[in-house]
């Protein structure tokens, strides 16, 4: 699948070049916009097609995801948001002087298991700062 290959190489480039500002501009402005447009195309086809499902209940969600276009759109949804989280982890780790090898497992888990990678980064971030209450945008690390 093309979107899987795109995502894989984005994650690879993110890890290798995470200290370079051009990687964020490229991923955010080109790749994520392209994937978001692709998502919009496939989800609109899924929602206007023959699918019987919707987002209002688990049962209807299961029906919706019986449609291959909806599954593809859902997968692209995960890829885009997980990549965004990975970009945030990288930028935040730079601001907090958390080394590359500390964030590698976080990025791998974020790519594969989304929230588990983010949780791992939170644990590392708290461990490095010594403070439990965290502001995701502050460089001081306190609320």
Does residue 138 lie within any of the structural domains? no
Model confidence at 142: pLDDT above 50? no
Model confidence at 71: pLDDT above 70? yes
125: containing domain: 2-129
Does residue 134 lie within any of the structural domains? no
- Radius of gyration from C-alpha coordinates of the chain: 17
Average pLDDT over residues 59-81: 87
Does residue 118 lie within any of the structural domains? yes
Average pLDDT over residues 42-63: 81
Q: What is the number of alpha carbons within 13 Å of residue 40 lying toward its C-beta? A: 6
C-beta atoms surrounding 35 within 10 Å: 20
Does residue 94 lie within any of the structural domains? yes
**Overall domain count for the chain:** 1
Does residue 11 lie within any of the structural domains? yes
pTM, rounded to two decimals:
0.85
């Amino acid at each position: 699948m093309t979107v899987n290959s795109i995502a894989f190489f984005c994650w690879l480039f993110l890890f290798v070049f995470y200290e370079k500002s051009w990687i964020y501009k490229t991923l955010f402005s080109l790749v994520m916009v392209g994937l978001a447009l692709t998502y919009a195309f496939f989800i609109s086809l899924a929602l206007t097609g023959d699918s019987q499902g919707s987002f209002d209940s688990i049962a209807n969600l299961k029906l919706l995801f019986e449609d291959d276009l909806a599954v593809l759109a859902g997968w692209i949804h995960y890829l885009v948001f997980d990549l965004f989280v990975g970009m945030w982890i990288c930028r935040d780790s730079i601001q907090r002087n958390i080394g590359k090898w500390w964030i590698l497992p976080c990025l791998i888990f974020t790519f594969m298991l989304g929230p588990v990678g983010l949780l791992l980064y939170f644990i590392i971030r708290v461990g490095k700062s010594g403070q439990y209450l965290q502001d995701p945008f502050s460089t001081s690390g306190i609320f």
